[in-house]
Amino acid sequence: MRIFLDLEGVRTPLHVRQHPRARRASLRLSADGNYVIVVLPPRTRSEEGLAIARAHASWIRAKLDDRPPRVPFADGAVLPVNGQALTVCLVPGGQRGVRTAGDRLLASGPADAVADQIRTWLRTEARRVILLRIAEKAARLVRQPTRVSLRDTRSRWGSCSLKGALSFSWRLILAPAPVLDYVVAHELAHLAHHGHGPAFWTAVGDLCDEISAGRTWLRQHGRSLFRYG
Ligand SMILES: [Zn+2]
């Protein structure tokens, strides 16, 4: 059930769902911080989820207020691209498109199209850097990925299909470089190991030096990547 709930006078998006293995109800923010998720044990009525959200209204409001401010893709926005802070500068009348100039990201074209152009540019940049990381690790790989695609996923930073196709969130380009490197190593290791057992983690360690730093950063700051755009 997806609804808006009035919590302390603020319209708050809420998703209530059952989970077959949930033993008790739980409450959390979505990965992108945009809505509240209530997970209920099987055969629990959705209304109970609403009651739980209402009972924890102050906690929810505090969590939502605690979110980092949004950074729209607009003039003056500072974007951490692969570890380098780039300031968006709109160039009126310039040639349509996005390009870097030192620590500036120059964008031209109609104002309403600029955000889309910047998003496309970041996606292309993410793809370029991820393919570069994969190429660097190629000699140590058991298998090569069959395909690499970029998405705007909300719940996973990367995934590996049984056919060996890798998919990544383009937002990883806004994370520090070692974090992106760790996610690339993680998905490449899945080409040889499906689960997350000891052999899998050994393989990740062979491909990247910063496993725990990468995992910790994503756990603590991953949600902040959704505030851009
Ligand atoms: Zn995994």
Q: What's the CA-to-centroid distance between 83 and ligand 1, angstroms?
A: 24
d(CA 35, CA 16): 11
Q: What is the pLDDT of residue 126?
A: 98
Q: What is the pLDDT of residue 112?
A: 78
Least confident of 79-83, 137-141, 186-190: 137-141
Query: Please, are residues 218 and 157 in contact by the beta-carbon 8 Å criterion?
Result: yes
Find the CATH number of the domain harbouring 165.
Answer: 3.30.2010.10
Decide which of 26, 41, 65 is a domain's last residue. 65
**Helix or strand or coil: residue 55?**
helix
Cα separation values, 36 from 9, 14, 116, 152, 225, Å:
16, 5, 27, 19, 18
Looking at the structure, do residues 57 and 134 belong to the same domain, yes or no? no
Within the chain, where are the H helices? Answer: 46-55, 57-65, 111-137, 177-190, 198-207, 211-221
Instruction: State the residue range of the domain holding 178.
Output: 118-227
pLDDT tens digit string along 118-171?
Answer: 999 999 999 999 999 999 998 999 899 999 999 998 889 999 999 999 999 999
Q: What's the CA-to-centroid distance between 16 and ligand 1, angstroms?
A: 26
Q: What's the CA-to-centroid distance between 196 and ligand 1, angstroms?
A: 6
**pLDDT exceeds cutoff 90 at 180:** yes
**Helix or strand or coil: residue 119?**
helix
Radius of gyration of the chain (CA): 20
**pLDDT exceeds cutoff 90 at 211:** yes
